[in-house]
Amino acid sequence: MRLIHPDNFNTLYLELNFPAQALESLNGASLSATDSIQIIVDPRPGEYGFVLSPAGILFESGSAPTATFSFSVYGDASAGNNSATYGSSADYVDALDIWREATVDEWQIAVDSRAAGVDAVSATVDMSGRFVLAAPR
């Protein structure tokens, strides 16, 4: 699944890859290879983020989906310039990870979050929830 920015160039915003038979359980109930559920991906306006629902989805650890944010055109790395935390925009980009909201306003780095080229970050999506591309303050 590919989500694009609403521009004239179809600029990639987010790509989610869902392997076959990636679902493990929904609300604690095991799912079989023949079960299916409707998964909703809701991009978050004003941030590099998305919400994956319904709540309660768990994915198989060996075949969980991956999310890749692309920030080449619309990402603003200038947040790192002259900041107390980052000495340059390159330092800021190096610190970017995909984060998952564990509980309200408590964030954890998503599983296997890593750079995916010069202008993208990928991570494993192991469960439903809210995910954002961010660097620590």
Per-residue model confidence (pLDDT) at position 97: 97
pLDDT at 100: 97
Q: Kindly provide the b/e burial profile for residues 33-52, where b requires at least 16 CB atoms within 10 angstroms of the residue's own CB.
A: eeeeeebebeeeeeebbbbb
Instruction: Give the architecture-level CATH label for domain 2-134.
Output: Sandwich (2.60)
Q: How confident is the model at residue 34 (pLDDT cuts 50, 70, 90)?
A: confident
What are the pLDDT digits (tens) for 83-98?
Answer: 888 888 888 999 999 9
Query: Tokens 């469960």 — which residue?
Result: 127
Pick from 100, 105, 104, 92: which is nearest to 126 by CA? 100
Average pLDDT of the residues of the chain? 91
Quick one: pLDDT band at residue 36, thresholds 50, 70, 90? confident
Q: What residues are paired with 127 via a beta bridge?
A: 58
pTM of the predicted model, to two decimals?
0.91
